[in-house]
Amino acid sequence: MSVTDDMREIARRAKSASRALAVMPTQARNDCLLAMANALEANSSRIEAANALDMADGEKNGLSRAMLDRLKLDAKRVKSMANGLREVAALPDPVGRKLDQRTRPNGLKLEKISTPIGVIVIIYESRPNVTADAASLCFKSANATILRGGKEALNSNKAIAEIMIEAAKACLPSFPVDAIQVVPTADREAIPALLSLTEYVDLCMPRGGEGLIRAVAECSKVPVIKHYKGVCHVYVDSEADLNMAEKIIVNAKVQRPGVCNAMECLIVNDKVAKDFLPRIASTLTAAKVELRVDDQAFGLIGNNAMVKKATPQDWSTEYLDLICSVKTVDSAEAAENHINTYGSGHSDTIVTSNEKTARQFMAKVDSATVYWNASTRFTDGGEFGMGAEIGISTDKIGARGPMGLEELTTYKWLGYGTGQIRG
């Protein structure tokens, strides 16, 4: 069979499994999740053996030390995966929530109810823990999952999924084994083949670098929920508490620079730039942050060896590193325009004590999450109290911002009648 035929068969079986999941009771899903968690721990050595094959291949193929570290599974990491599944089991069921209800004058009762989406394709890179993580969130929300991890982790991913399925089947004999499937080939053609199957696949969520995500979005015929990158801003207004601004900026830039909700660009109102820029430049450069700044800022802080002039590309760059661009503006409005032009719609902050300015900024900045006097680093399912996170979306159709279990559901309308017909 061709890879196209294989993918069609995988997707067809996933859709069929999704029909069974749609009527699987909450308790049955939670019992399966707990059984899966126990099985992962009990089979840790089997997972580690599969992972050892991937590690050996990875070393042979010259994977970097950082990639090998991400790929590596040991008993501690397997235990952490298992505990993740237990946490998911303990969360409320996102399916069956009543989102709206109304009774029409003719007596027809309408309910808008959250339902599973159906079949979700998850495409991701090297970390094999994503296999357990994503599959468990999709299963909890009664969706069938097709997992396409990195080719370097294929043995690990297959072992994890097999153990989860075996455990669920032992726990619940009617468990549909195609509810969780790992694409068994590293063939690159598998992705466009899968993502053309609009009759079976309902959603694709790519997780990884911008290149991977753009390639997926480019070829997909099914809806994709994604974020390309996080070019997050902190704007220090003319009426900012500068001590608060400094703390927020240091946290947003330095605490964990390699993540999507870290600040990449600092915007400073020129009414406070003369006071504030030398001070924040000194703090940030002491923390080893290189600054790439506009001409006005360069006039104020250019005497520091860690400060360089920004190029036009800097304004839309996600550094994921100890680098920060710095822009001066003459108004909050100019900051808003800069963010809407060069940002990525992820997370942006205003620091100000003026409520009117803050509310205007929050309304005008067209990003998934906009903060007033708080670090951009809070954009995260756990920090939002969602209990789990499968990703962050900068899209506007479907989920936006951090995605937990509720964001893995859609809805349907149910109409309860007593013989109503339309006049």
List contacts with a copy of itself (CB under 8 A): 19, 22-23, 102, 104, 108, 110, 117-118, 202-203, 217-218, 221, 223, 225, 241, 244, 247-248, 250-252, 255, 340, 360, 362-364, 366-375, 377-379, 383-385, 395-398, 400-402, 410-422
Query: β-pairing, 391-393 with 401-403?
Result: antiparallel
CB of 112 to a copy of itself, least distance (A): 8
Query: β-pairing, 347-351 with 290-293?
Result: unpaired
CB of 5 to a copy of itself, least distance (A): 20
Q: Which is nearer to a copy of itself, 44 or 269 (CB)?
A: 269
Q: Which is nearer to a copy of itself, 212 or 374 (CB)?
A: 374
In angstroms, how far is CA 342 from the centroid of its own chain? 21
Q: Which is nearer to a copy of itself, 111 or 166 (CB)?
A: 111
Q: Which is nearer to a copy of itself, 31 or 378 (CB)?
A: 378
CB of 210 to a copy of itself, least distance (A): 14
Q: Are 28 and 172 in contact (CB under 8 A)?
A: yes
CB of 175 to a copy of itself, least distance (A): 17
CB of 392 to a copy of itself, least distance (A): 11
Q: Are 253 and 284 in contact (CB under 8 A)?
A: yes
Q: Which residues contact 353 (CB under 8 A, 6 or more apart)?
A: 239, 240, 241
CB of 220 to a copy of itself, least distance (A): 10
CB of 178 to a copy of itself, least distance (A): 16
Q: Which residues contact 123 (CB under 8 A, 6 or more apart)?
A: 148, 191, 204, 205, 206, 207, 208, 212, 216
State both tokens at 238.
């003319």
Q: Which is nearer to a copy of itself, 296 or 373 (CB)?
A: 373
State both tokens at 333.
């409005």
Q: Which is nearer to a copy of itself, 132 or 260 (CB)?
A: 260
Q: What is the 3-state secondary structure (H, E, C) of 162-191?
A: HHHHHHHHHHCCCCCHHHEEECCCCCCCHH
CB of 157 to a copy of itself, least distance (A): 25
CB of 172 to a copy of itself, least distance (A): 18
Q: Which is nearer to a copy of itself, 38 or 340 (CB)?
A: 340
State both tokens at 348.
């942006």
CB of 161 to a copy of itself, least distance (A): 24
The span from the CA of 325 to the CA of 116, in Å, is 42
Integer CA distances (angstroms), 198 to 46, 85, 94, 220, 222, in order: 36, 30, 24, 9, 6
In angstroms, how far is CA 98 from the centroid of its own chain? 25
| Single-letter amino acid, residue 244 | M
Q: Which residues contact 16 (CB under 8 A, 6 or more apart)?
A: 176, 178
CB of 60 to a copy of itself, least distance (A): 39
> Which of 73, 74, 89 is CA-nearest to residue 38?
89
Q: Which is nearer to a copy of itself, 128 or 402 (CB)?
A: 402
> Which of 141, 270, 263 is CA-nearest to residue 202?
141
Rg (CA), the chain: 24
The span from the CA of 341 to the CA of 329, in Å, is 14
